[in-house]
Structure 1
Amino acid sequence: MTWWQHIIPQHALSNLMFRFARLENVWLKNKFTHWFVKSYGVNLSEAVRENVEDYQHFNDFFTRALKPTARKIANSNIICPVDGTVSQADKISHATIFQAKNHYYTVSALLAGDYRADQFDAGYFATIYLSPKDYHRIHMPFDGELVSMDYIPGDLFSVNKTTAEGVTDLFARNERVVCYFQTEFGLCAFVLVGAIFVGSMQTTWAGQINPPYQKEVQHFDYTNQDIKLKKGEELGRFNMGSTIIMLMPNQENCLNLIAGQTVRMGEALI
């Protein structure tokens, strides 16, 4: 049942959540966060700050840092960039990506027609969903040099399994941020997909990307800024949960992932 998502004011509701998540009223923040931890089974023993009372507001808790020992970075060429559940992972066939059930979308649509989309037409993709209880910082799966970033406006449908099976072109319709990195594997793209109540994404080099919400694609060029990130370093974070999509330019580096698999940041993927 996804019909209701077509009629609700997605961006207005996400704006309200953005504000609520940053309220510093101590009683409200603590009450809601305690409820959230209990309801979703959040493991706070992994966090640098284990007590709910130590967070400034709910978003501070939601984007919490983990202890250095909580996630080990595997000694492999590619690691998992997030905690989450694999929605889909497979070869890209005829420039088309499998979404769910009978739903597919094109690489070009996902990247808003970017001229580099054809580099992934016969590549590999992995879509990973971050649930509310997951760790919501995003880390580099490999060493890379930032080339550019695109902010692409769009809808804010939920990105859970039910919606993925019911909304056509979901990930190519939702608001998203695309980061392009030059790597040893060639040009790779990293797509941060927004969702309802997830109208805010940020990167380590640009800070908060949204809100405010824009009506046109925003392009940021970093070719002359020498921004290099090492495998395991933080790339960005979701202010509330969502989905990431990794695009690689060839099928020689098929990742060791299957749909439905639970993954943790730092695990070896190849």
Structure 2
Amino acid sequence: MKTAVQRLTKTEQLNFLLTNRLPRRWLTLFMGWFSQIESPLLAKLSIAVWQCFAEDLRLQDAKKQNFNSLGECFTRELKDGLRPIDMAANIVTSPCDAIVGACGRIEGNKVFQAKGFPYELSELIPDVRIAHKYRNGSFVTLRLKSSMYHRFHAPINCQVKQVNYISGDTWNVNPIALKRVEKLFCKNERAVIELKLDTSPNLNNPHSSITLVPVAAILVASMKFNFLRQTLNLRYRGANVIPCDAQFNKGDEMGYFQHGSTIIVFATPDYQLCPGIEQGRPIKMGEALLNICPEPRDTQTSSASVVA
């Protein structure tokens, strides 16, 4: 047993060194360039190599089976009907396919990326007005593996009035790095997307709110939103706060990562995790993620119960 633990530790250490101690920015820029090369043969060879390391890559679910580039495979669309949407008014659905990471109640303004590794809401979300809404609320960290479907969708009927893009690093966001790099999400490239609810689904709280924070990572630092002209990546040099006016019904596509990364979902205290949402669970886009609490929670004194 001791040997197995030691072997696991060495494997984790090797993974961390290979994915974080290399020149992350230049490797990410290279991957961005390589994945856009239009060559069906190169794409086929690259995907074959990728499948050697990603046994759960399910290309049979994609609308098309042949790709002109590796990036086209990363951002593939799925066949219609493969992701049913839970349309119940009191349900917030998962915006993406993912593995559930740390999740639960927010302790005041404190959120956990992993056990013993907290960060403050204001460190991740620079807009104090938005960050304050989620004091004692709920959060769910959704990690998209590189082999997963990379598009993300509206988890609820909503409007988006602006995107706040924060430039940063490209640390790997896998569980190994999250247990070693403090405040990792707060260091990486990310975007803050506040979802304006047309009508609050909770009659007890007209100020219900959901915010998505997509976080980029090594090889991934490129986020494309369908409602923005700009692609947000390491080469972006525009304004941080980008105004827009986009309307979504639950399940509508919002955008995609160009490789795979993480989306953190924040909810006001009138929401709670749906039964069965816990660390390590796979979840599909459209499945129930959060629901309205049967009784309003005290936003100032709510006790915290964080899975990390």
1:101 is matched with which residue? Answer: 115
- Which of 132, 144, 150 does residue 136 from structure 1 map onto? 150
2:303 is matched with which residue? Answer: none
Distance in 1 between residues matched to 2:156 and 2:286, nearest whole Å: 10
Q: What is the TM-score normalised by the length of structure 1?
A: 0.91
2:204 is matched with which residue? Answer: none
Structure 1 segment 1-270 matched on structure 2, within 5 A:
1=13, 2=16, 7-41=21-55, 42-49=57-64, 51=65, 54-76=66-88, 77-183=91-197, 184=200, 186-207=208-229, 208-214=231-237, 218-222=240-244, 225=245, 227-256=246-275, 257-269=277-289, 270=291
Distance in 2 between residues matched to 1:267 and 1:116, nearest whole Å: 25
Structure 2 spans left out of the alignment, 5+ residues: 1-12, 202-207, 292-308
Question: Is the 8 Å Cα contact of residues 148 and 181 (structure 1) preserved in structure 2?
Answer: no
After superposition, the C-alpha distances for 1:33-53 in whole angstroms (9 at most, x for unaligned) are 12223431311221111x2xx
Greater Cα radius of gyration, structure 1 or 2: 2
Distance in 1 between residues matched to 2:18 and 2:35, nearest whole Å: 24
Match of 1:245, SS? strand
Over the residues paired in the alignment, what is the CA RMSD in angstroms?
Answer: 1.9
Per-residue deviation, 1:7:
4.6
Distance in 1 between residues matched to 2:47 and 2:235, nearest whole Å: 25
Question: Is the 8 Å Cα contact of residues 210 and 267 (structure 2) preserved in structure 1?
Answer: yes
Structure 1 spans left out of the alignment, 5+ residues: none
| AA partner of residue 271 (structure 2) | E
Distance in 2 between residues matched to 1:31 and 1:6, nearest whole Å: 26
Aligned length: 263
Distance in 2 between residues matched to 1:189 and 1:165, nearest whole Å: 24
Distance in 1 between residues matched to 2:215 and 2:274, nearest whole Å: 20
Match of 1:171, SS? helix
Distance in 1 between residues matched to 2:120 and 2:160, nearest whole Å: 24
| AA partner of residue 221 (structure 2) | G
